[in-house]
Amino acid sequence: MRTSQYLLSTLKETPADAEVKSHQLMMRAGMVRKIAAGLYTWLPTGLRTLRKVEAIVRQEMEKAGAVEVSMPVVQPAELWQESGRWEAYGPELCRFKDRGNRDFVLGPTHEEVITALVRGEVSSYKQLPLNLFQIQTKFRDEVRPRFGVMRGREFLMKDAYSFHLDKASLEDTYQKMHQAYCNTFSRMGLDFRPVVADTGSIGGSASHEFQVLADSGEDLIAVSTGSDFAANVEMAEAMAPSAERAAPGAELALLDTPNAKTIDDLVSQFGIAIDKTVKTLIVKGASEEAPLVALLVRGDHELNEIKAEKLPQVASPFAFADEAAIRAAIGAGPGSLGPVGLKLPVIVDRSVAVMSDFAAGANVDGKHHTNVNWDRDAQFAAVADIRNVVAGDPSPCGQGTIELKRGIEVGHIFQLGTKYSEAMKATVLSEQGKATVMEMGCYGIGVSRVVAAAIEQNHDDKGIIWPDAIAPFQVVIIPMNMHKSHRVQDAAEQLYQELQAAGIEVLFDDRKERPGVMFADMELIGIPHSIIIGERGLDTNEVEYKSRRSGDKDNLPLDQVVASLKAKLQA
Amino acid sequence: MRTSQYLLSTLKETPADAEVKSHQLMMRAGMVRKIAAGLYTWLPTGLRTLRKVEAIVRQEMEKAGAVEVSMPVVQPAELWQESGRWEAYGPELCRFKDRGNRDFVLGPTHEEVITALVRGEVSSYKQLPLNLFQIQTKFRDEVRPRFGVMRGREFLMKDAYSFHLDKASLEDTYQKMHQAYCNTFSRMGLDFRPVVADTGSIGGSASHEFQVLADSGEDLIAVSTGSDFAANVEMAEAMAPSAERAAPGAELALLDTPNAKTIDDLVSQFGIAIDKTVKTLIVKGASEEAPLVALLVRGDHELNEIKAEKLPQVASPFAFADEAAIRAAIGAGPGSLGPVGLKLPVIVDRSVAVMSDFAAGANVDGKHHTNVNWDRDAQFAAVADIRNVVAGDPSPCGQGTIELKRGIEVGHIFQLGTKYSEAMKATVLSEQGKATVMEMGCYGIGVSRVVAAAIEQNHDDKGIIWPDAIAPFQVVIIPMNMHKSHRVQDAAEQLYQELQAAGIEVLFDDRKERPGVMFADMELIGIPHSIIIGERGLDTNEVEYKSRRSGDKDNLPLDQVVASLKAKLQA
């Protein structure tokens, strides 16, 4: 491609409404343009990368045995009424009427359509397992579209849905898809982690998110320093400390703490080590006999509400008790609570169970205990993992310790079970001739989001640094002052032909621009490999090679450029 | 691909609501499924062909210098208000409100979005010409969606838009796109014609439709037997007969014709040759001085209203006079009109101008004249081409005669001019620094419609007959009773591997089905080349080749199958 016949559309200024780096760079590099909130046109440079991401996703899906279909964007309301989501789905579901006054939606996802399709096409266990995917436009009417294509309203998604006679088959396909996702993001050259995720409202038994690591990511992930273990911070198990509980070292003491409402106050005003303090949190209980339950975590830890909600003693949905209820039950406010003499079920975190000589509220306003010791001064009803992991915790995988990283979710796989197949009566006949509700899995990749996530992970002050596999062009030819030098022009033209003939995707910057403008544009766009052709080098039949990622420069004989680039691209 | 891991979904019965062959066959061959009126899911077999059509279109667009972008399906109303089409476009434009109560549309076409984009990105004549295309989902809320994907509501379209400083540049790109369209449909193996088309309400100076020839086509096309001339029947010029007008042969006579209201009555009741009769049609005139105008065509010809409307004497929009107005002006009803003594401007078709001794109404109810002759008995004010061409007419290209064919419109190219760029103020600075409204062209291909049109042109009683280039698979391996013969299974498996390794797209029918079922399915789906493997043939290391199109069969040594198929596919 020649820039003179292309729509380069780079910008010098960063648009004011672009908050995150990927949005800024996608605008400046001429990848996208906004036409309304959350709606973007993909310009040629952006589309080239989008299509590469799409092609890799398609190839890996096919390798994993998934078969491609394409479902409409516009879906009839009847299907959503059948699944129950016509009512349950919030205003992100864009509903409208056609000219005949019939209700339709713009598909934010396609469980209903695919389940209705497979219900109609598949009747026997012999046709299973079946794994169907599509790469297609979706619409979600986000309340606050932001971060460019990272959270747009119209976006490109790969969604796959698998159908099975039983759970074992679902688990088998789930593993294959997990591997396919790893292959997909590896091929794109991205640093990512598959992380154990909460199955949330979708239910089902297993779920993984695929997170591209980037400092700007919205999600917090716990990874192991000693293995490839990774989990959403909410999902990572906080292990019991290996140390046993020490014997009591001092007598229980009562301390006047009129100005200590928080753990930090206690630490700063009385010089108590924070890992010798305990927070006592009162939450609603699951039973009438115990309408309130005390949850204790160490002063430097945070309660994990998802873990807490799974305890049999704790109400679901999870809720903190309000101050009035706490005062009525205990006689003190939330800033002065502790286990000594507490008449509620006490559930302690694993870290708290091994503490000794610790400080906690005395259940009297303005007073704390120090040197509290279990058994001697207070009792707990149960020990459980109820906190978020922190950096340095032992990894639940048994190897290494926990590190916290930030990530951008680009994929999510679920073992759905029978949620949709049950509601929509999608059954097959088993080998025994019995109508059996199919087990389902679903597997998504945010194709357009991958592009933004890749930029968040791969950029510097000058612009984007594309991995080879998803770069809009692999190579750019930058001729210096070509319009004043026939020699430069001839060499550039010839190299352009040769690179194209070698199947290399090359951009030829044939604009009448100063070299500085061309360098800046190409670094902004992030083309991995540059060949710079100038008069001086041609004196010795040489051109300059420059790597966008390393910044390394090298002189190359003209007749070795193609071979050298081929080698770099295969590496 | 193995059928056992695929969603074949062939049907034995033809769905009741499928009226046309392509719709019936797309349903039966498992290509599409309806999810609501005009909304279809593409099943794997259909999608494979759709993607091939898409790939050919993309490649030819790129060869023609067009650059790919992707615009959203959902478009803000503001752009349509700017162009004036928010009001002007009928209920086919699906309008809806987002959660913030702002107006949006589902794009039926993208002139507004692209014009707004280019207005923002292009500022100088140096950036022109620019030709941008996309291949993308469109939605038109058809009042009566029918014929499957032929006239669906959601469909896949390639739309390109070109921008120019002047008309000469527009015409140049228009010619390139015309050629690219010819290349595109030729590569798909389709019998098609580029036909001169009416520019209609879009205006502009030139337009061609690309019509796939098929007996079931909705459009009537005039083609030449002696050249590649083709035009919409409404647009084809009806040439003046080469014969000169003969001298009068008999005296004018008055005939009582009480029961002759039509030309057919006149012919059947009085034995007058139809090409010796003239129809006199009264239409509204363009001026107050001549509010009615008489148009005369031969009895066996049809008035062409589009041609008539372009006459300076005729009102636009074209309208016939009603009977009351005719009686008031002439004193007789529409069944008895003629040129003799007529007090209206008389405009005659070129064929009528050379007639002599013809029959026409006498402007008295129930009476006709015979042996009417121009000059002697009546006069005309002008001669013009005002009729549709008929088979056998001399071709306007000067070579051969006209044949009439039926076609399905799969592409349409327009020289738009400044309709949108003017309304939306899309200007560039010219070399002289003057703001200049850009000239625009637009170029569409109905990608999903091509699939249906190809089937209308290529099928028989057994099913679809795909051209190689757009077949869902190039080759199918049909093993006979493989599940009873290791030898057949081994040979089939090995051939399957070899064909895949050779880059041939092969379907391996590994179902446990009777050979008859497999043959019927594969003929229905229309895979061009079959390899049938049976016990008997393997005795001599042979398999059977069968061509779907010709039905020809051939025995092939097993070790020559790959080379033989490669040769056939390259042919």
CB-CB under 8 Å, B113 with A7: no
Per the CB < 8 A criterion, the answer to whether B349 and B301 are in contact is yes
CB-CB under 8 Å, B98 with A94: yes
List, for residues A335-368, the tens digit of each pLDDT value.
999 999 999 999 999 999 999 999 999 999 999 9
B244 in any annotated domain:
no
List, for residues B139-176, the tens digit of each pLDDT value.
999 999 999 999 999 999 999 999 999 999 999 999 99
CB-CB under 8 Å, B73 with A117: no
Beta strands in B37-97 (DSSP E): 39-42, 67-68, 74-76, 94-97
The pLDDT, as a whole number, for residue A243 is: 87
The pLDDT, as a whole number, for residue A304 is: 95
Backbone region of residue A425 per phi and psi (left: phi > 0; alpha: psi in -120 to 50; beta: other values): left
The domain in which residue B552 lies consists of 475-570
Domain of B82, CATH number, reads 3.30.930.10
Interface test with B, best of A5, A74, A451 (most B CBs within 10 A): A74
List the single residue in A43, A73, A132 with the smallest CB-CB distance to B69. Answer: A43
A251 exposed, middle or buried (CB, 10 Å; 0-12, 13-18, 19+)? exposed
* A82-115: b (≥16 Cβ within 10 Å) or e: bbebbeebeeebbbbebeeeeebbbbbbbbbbbb
Domain of B278, CATH number, reads 3.90.960.10
Angle at CA A450, nearest 5°, toward A446 and A455? 155
Place of tokens 């050379």: B354
Measure the CA–CA gap between B60 and B63, rounded to whole angstroms: 5
* A402 CA: distance to closest CA in chain B (Å): 42
Residues A277-298 have a mean pLDDT of 96
Q: Which two tokens stand for residue B103?
A: 């107006």
| Chain A neighbors of B36, CB-CB under 8 A | 74-76, 78, 102, 104
Based on the domain organization, do A271 and A343 belong to the same domain?
yes
Q: Which residues contact A59 (CB under 8 A, 6 or more apart)?
A: none
When pLDDT is cut at 50, 70 and 90, the band that residue B203 belongs to is low
The pLDDT, as a whole number, for residue A235 is: 87
DSSP category for residue A89: S
Based on the domain organization, do B232 and B260 belong to the same domain?
no
CB-CB under 8 Å, A33 with B7: no
Residues A392-418 have a mean pLDDT of 94
Handedness of CA B36, B37, B40, B46 (dihedral sign): positive
Based on the domain organization, do A377 and A436 belong to the same domain?
no
Based on the domain organization, do B167 and B283 belong to the same domain?
no
CB-CB under 8 Å, A68 with B47: yes
Interface test with A, best of B4, B41, B159 (most A CBs within 10 A): B41
Measure the CA–CA gap between A353 and A349, rounded to whole angstroms: 6
Measure the CA–CA gap between B549 and B258, rounded to whole angstroms: 58
Q: Which residues contact B218 (CB under 8 A, 6 or more apart)?
A: B406, B408, B409
Place of tokens 């050779």: B502
The pLDDT, as a whole number, for residue B117 is: 98
List, for residues B293-305, the tens digit of each pLDDT value.
999 999 999 999 9
Measure the CA–CA gap between B183 and A252, rounded to whole angstroms: 92
Measure the CA–CA gap between A538 and A529, rounded to whole angstroms: 19
Q: How far is CA B416 from the centre of its chain?
A: 19
Measure the CA–CA gap between B227 and B233, rounded to whole angstroms: 16
Per DSSP, the residues of B179-216 read HHHHHHHHHTT--EEEEE---GGG--S-EEEEEEE-TT
SS (H, E, C) B500-540: HHCCCCEEECCCCCCHHHHHHHHHHHCCCEEEEECHHHHHC
CB-CB under 8 Å, B130 with A69: no
CB-CB under 8 Å, B44 with A68: yes
- Does pLDDT of A499 surpass 60? yes
| Chain A neighbors of B130, CB-CB under 8 A | 7
Q: Which two tokens stand for residue A156?
A: 């490109």
The 10 Å Cβ neighbour count of residue B435 is 10
Instruction: Report whether the peptide linkage leading into residue A467 is cis, meaning its omega lies within 30 degrees of zero.
Output: no
Nearest by Cα to B31 from B471, B363, B387: B471
B196 in any annotated domain:
yes
The pLDDT, as a whole number, for residue B205 is: 67
Measure the CA–CA gap between B261 and B539, rounded to whole angstroms: 77
Instruction: Among B384, B414, B431, identify where a domain stops.
Output: B384
* Farthest-apart Cα atoms in chain A, separation: 93
The total number of structural domains in chain B stands at 3
Based on the domain organization, do B173 and B303 belong to the same domain?
no
Place of tokens 């996702």: A181
The pLDDT, as a whole number, for residue A205 is: 67
Across the A/B interface, how many CB contacts are shorter than 8 Å?
Answer: 143
Measure the CA–CA gap between B95 and A117, rounded to whole angstroms: 28
Domain of B493, CATH number, reads 3.40.50.800
Pairing of strands A154-164, A130-139: antiparallel
CB-CB under 8 Å, B141 with A98: yes
DSSP category for residue B228: S
The pLDDT, as a whole number, for residue B204 is: 60
For all residues of chain A together, what is the average pLDDT?
95
The pLDDT, as a whole number, for residue B235 is: 87
Sheet holding A529-533, edge to edge: A506-508, A475-479, A529-533, A542-547, A553-557
Rg from Cα positions in chain A = 30
- Does pLDDT of A447 surpass 70? yes
Measure the CA–CA gap between B485 and B489, rounded to whole angstroms: 6
Based on the domain organization, do B336 and B370 belong to the same domain?
yes
For all residues of chain B together, what is the average pLDDT?
95
Decide: helix, strand or coil at residue A433: coil
A460 in any annotated domain:
no
Percent of chain A with pLDDT over 90: 94
Q: Which residues contact B560 (CB under 8 A, 6 or more apart)?
A: none
Interface test with A, best of B9, B69, B126, B149 (most A CBs within 10 A): B69
Residues A504-515 have a mean pLDDT of 95
The pLDDT, as a whole number, for residue B243 is: 87
The pLDDT, as a whole number, for residue A14 is: 92
Nearest by Cα to B414 from B144, B569, B206, B112: B206
The pLDDT, as a whole number, for residue A198 is: 74
* A66 CA: distance to closest CA in chain B (Å): 9
| Dihedral (Cα; B508, B511, B512, B513), 10-degree rounding | -90
List, for residues A375-392, the tens digit of each pLDDT value.
999 999 999 999 999 999
Q: Which two tokens stand for residue A226?
A: 């000693």
CB-CB under 8 Å, B71 with A99: no
A556 in any annotated domain:
yes
| Chain B neighbors of A162, CB-CB under 8 A | none
When pLDDT is cut at 50, 70 and 90, the band that residue B200 belongs to is low
A446 in any annotated domain:
yes
List, for residues A73-126, the tens digit of each pLDDT value.
999 999 999 999 999 999 999 999 999 999 999 999 999 999 999 999 999 999
Amino acid at A69: V
| Chain A neighbors of B71, CB-CB under 8 A | 35, 41-42
The pLDDT, as a whole number, for residue A203 is: 55
Nearest residue of chain A to residue B448 (CA atoms): A70
List, for residues A306-321, the tens digit of each pLDDT value.
999 999 999 989 999 9
B467 in any annotated domain:
no
Based on the domain organization, do A153 and A180 belong to the same domain?
yes
The pLDDT, as a whole number, for residue A200 is: 61
Residues A265-270 have a mean pLDDT of 94
- Does pLDDT of A54 surpass 70? yes
Based on the domain organization, do B432 and B537 belong to the same domain?
no
The pLDDT, as a whole number, for residue B228 is: 87
When pLDDT is cut at 50, 70 and 90, the band that residue A508 belongs to is very high
Based on the domain organization, do B493 and B438 belong to the same domain?
no
| Chain B neighbors of A69, CB-CB under 8 A | 7, 41-44, 47
Measure the CA–CA gap between B131 and B443, rounded to whole angstroms: 10
B466 in any annotated domain:
no
CA distances from A305 to A302, A309, A314, A414, A499 (A): 9, 6, 10, 22, 57
Measure the CA–CA gap between A476 and A487, rounded to whole angstroms: 18
Interface test with A, best of B9, B39, B134 (most A CBs within 10 A): B39
Measure the CA–CA gap between B20 and B32, rounded to whole angstroms: 14
Instruction: Among A353, A384, A415, identify where a domain stops.
Output: A384
**Which residues make beta-bridge pairs with A413?**
A208, A443
Based on the domain organization, do A152 and A216 belong to the same domain?
yes
Measure the CA–CA gap between B311 and B318, rounded to whole angstroms: 10
The pLDDT, as a whole number, for residue B206 is: 87
- The H-assigned helical ranges of A64-214 are 77-83, 85-88, 111-121, 167-187
- Does pLDDT of B511 surpass 70? yes
Instruction: Among B325, B351, B384, identify where a domain stops.
Output: B384
List the single residue in B43, B70, B139 with the smallest CB-CB distance to A69. Answer: B43
CB-CB under 8 Å, B42 with A98: no
Nearest residue of chain B to residue A153 (CA atoms): B74
Percent of chain B with pLDDT over 90: 94
Based on the domain organization, do A428 and A540 belong to the same domain?
no
A271 in any annotated domain:
yes
Based on the domain organization, do B264 and B209 belong to the same domain?
no
